[in-house]
């Protein structure tokens, strides 16, 4: 999943179905984990995202949800990453949040 920016067709999504269902207003069309499941891929982990960034510079203008540890998700949060200032950053947000520039990246293991 080496597009320079998080792919347009996978942006403006909250983290997962639970987050999508919890929104009472202004729901995004889909969730990152939902689209990934439909595609038959897995969302990158933070470790995989950091390895991807060793291959080039990705998400300089966008950000990508990454697989979130269960403890963080249980508390309502989710994790995303991007690259700014020649550094890979990982952040947290409410799992129900969504932004035009935030999508996700995935991997297909064969």
pLDDT digits (tens, 9 = 90+) for 43-87: 999 999 999 999 999 999 999 999 999 999 999 999 999 999 999
Residue 2 lies in a domain: no
Range of the domain at 74: 8-107
Residue 3 lies in a domain: no
Residue 1 lies in a domain: no
pLDDT above 70: percentage of residues in the chain? 100
How many C-beta atoms lie closer than 10 Å to residue 53's C-beta?
A: 16
* CB contact at 8 A, 98 and 32: no
Cα–Cα distance for residue pair 44/82, rounded to 1 Å = 13
* CB contact at 8 A, 90 and 77: no
Q: Is the pTM of this model over 0.85?
A: yes
Residue 38 lies in a domain: yes
Number of domains in the chain: 1
* CB contact at 8 A, 64 and 105: yes
């Amino acid at each position: 999943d080496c597009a320079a920016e998080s792919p347009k067709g996978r942006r403006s999504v909250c983290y997962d179905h639970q987050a999508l269902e919890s929104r009472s207003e202004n729901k995004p069309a889909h969730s990152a984990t939902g689209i990934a499941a439909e595609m038959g891929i897995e969302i990158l982990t933070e470790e995989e995202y950091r390895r991807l960034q060793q291959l080039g510079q990705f998400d300089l203008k966008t950000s990508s949800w990454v697989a979130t540890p269960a403890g963080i998700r249980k508390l309502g949060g989710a994790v995303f990453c991007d690259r700014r200032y020649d550094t890979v950053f990982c952040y947290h947000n409410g799992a129900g949040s969504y932004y035009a520039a935030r999508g996700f990246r995935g991997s297909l293991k064969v």
